[in-house]
Structure 1
């Protein structure tokens, strides 16, 4: 089988830079798009487009990409990409796709729209790809992680029973890590029926997207539980995590999944005839983060070749964007409870 000609548009941290972080390398064998594309035999990585000279030098020197430049049209002509990875910020992705006539599939970084935008670019992207029959995956990488897929497929309920109470923490903006957490919650708990901001939306200082916001919020799920989510200031410390209290135990997923523990339901130590969750007796689950990014590309290849269903399709990512928009609207309306249609 001939490898798929691949182009990366936008060559910053998630595209390449994270591969140089030694702490991240201890847990993620594939920490960036570049690390996967350099190793994956299904993709023939031919091009990078970025306006930054240092990024282009990185593509050429570190990853030996044959075609690297700032002119999208010129690089597209040289590569004729069958796969495009759009890792540049949102704003003109629809126009990028229009410039690539040979696309078989697309992998896009979130968010799909800038915070506060009306979503016109993501709507145009969806319309163009639907018209041309181009499948789109959005890089919510947890959907490719083996442990998390096991939890979503029934492993969560098997370990702790039905969820009763859920809390989440995020930082660096609701459109950034907040979107990851919303998607992860939907993956594990099902669809959201209503949202409610629990306070005002404030500027997320230091976030990758300058206009991003922090807001505390609650998500009501169609199957019953309510998740409350709080933002953190990453200048103090970093955490993106979940704590799920079930009927028969508790599951804690912290540090992006580096630490995942199950805590059992036992006899209560302080009162006869009652039970407790033994939060000092957790069992760690083996992390499978290391190859999650690679597995997302496995799925991308399968979708491009018509032999797989997308694990993180555009339609699902657009639901996340709608939920984020409703949370911000709720905050603007003083915490109104809003239905997710």
Structure 2
């Protein structure tokens, strides 16, 4: 019996290194191995004092960790996660869970059938401010959610793409890489998305993917949403700038989500609740704002601690494989809708593997 829960990380890029830092801060957890075929990853593993393997299979056979964190390119997620599950090893896979909803569905089914914990790295749900926002909505502070606006605008420098050529390829644009986080939070806060209609523009830098896209979201509860993403726009309105979550981004006192309800509205991440005086829903009545208080802690550290508790069967997953799959369905629908310029209704993938969307002309 080991005194600490033993975790391995696959992929020591930007995100993998942040996971390693988080593991080091969680009690009763230790990093015991890394998988990375690149020299930079191997050098980083040496600095951490852990062995580095070139393949995930070799690491699982040699080390036998209690859990694995996958921080690799999306194309590898499903295959690598399945390898972990075959070895009966719980896995936390970075977002998005896979390239397509159908392949991700096969992974989720495999994990469920074998009763192996499968978590998806939508770490923003582990941020205390998101927990506070969800509580405010659940407590009825803004009434019924009727509308939401989301903005995800920033400018990624050229060297970001040069450092990893896969970021220039089809399927690795800001819809898949960045908007997936925002869609997951909007689902978590506002409800399930039932249909989307989207548009996208090709990369102005000549890459294979889009660099700006917008979508109209229809929710099962009757709410309507709009969301826009770009990695080629200079602007302050994104989670990265406004949440103060990652110290690598300069903090800006703005918000990136506006959630409108029948009795008030909520802006996130500044957590300001706007209501009419005396709760009179009347546009002639003055509005006032209250800023909600919340705790502050690193969501990546919280996520590792949660992964520990799930592995030990002390807690159910906050973002299960099924949750990651539902978010991927919305992202995939946005991509297909933008390509075909049609409205798509999102089907329940668990009900049929024949198709996950229905085109509505």
Q: Do both proteins adopt the same fold according to a TM-score greater than 0.5, normalized to the shorter chain?
A: yes
TM-score normalised by the chain length of structure 1: 0.79
4+ long deviations beyond 6 Å: none
Contact preservation (8 Å) 1:6, 1:45 = yes
Instruction: Provide the residue aligned with 1:92 in structure 2.
Output: 76
Instruction: Provide the residue aligned with 2:14 in structure 1.
Output: 13
Aligned residues: 307
TM-score normalised by the chain length of structure 2: 0.75
Single out whichever of 96-105 and 222-231 deviates more from structure 2. Answer: 96-105
Residues 67-94 of structure 1: per-residue CA shift (max 9 Å, x gap):
1232333333332112000110122334
Structure 1 unaligned blocks of 5 or more: 17-31
- Do residues 274 (structure 1) and 284 (structure 2) align? yes
Instruction: Provide the residue aligned with 2:200 in structure 1.
Output: 201
- Do residues 107 (structure 1) and 130 (structure 2) align? no
Contact preservation (8 Å) 1:7, 1:46 = yes
Listed as ranges, the matches of 1:1-341 within 5 Å are 2-16=3-17, 32-61=18-47, 64-100=48-84, 102-114=87-99, 118-119=100-101, 121-155=103-137, 158-171=140-153, 173-197=174-198, 200-203=199-202, 211=209, 214-238=212-236, 239-240=238-239, 241-253=256-268, 257=269, 259-266=270-277, 274-275=284-285, 277-278=287-288, 282-286=289-293, 288=295, 290-341=297-348
**Aligned-partner Cα distance in 2 for 1:286–1:94:** 39
Contact preservation (8 Å) 2:93, 2:121 = yes
**Aligned-partner Cα distance in 2 for 1:206–1:12:** 23
SS at match of 1:215: strand
TM-fit CA distance, 1:319: 0.8
Instruction: Provide the residue aligned with 2:167 in structure 1.
Output: none
**Aligned-partner Cα distance in 2 for 1:314–1:45:** 23
Residues 101-156 of structure 1: per-residue CA shift (max 9 Å, x gap):
65442111011223xxx445424432432343211110111222233223324546
SS at match of 1:78: helix
Structure 2 unaligned blocks of 5 or more: 154-172, 240-255, 349-361
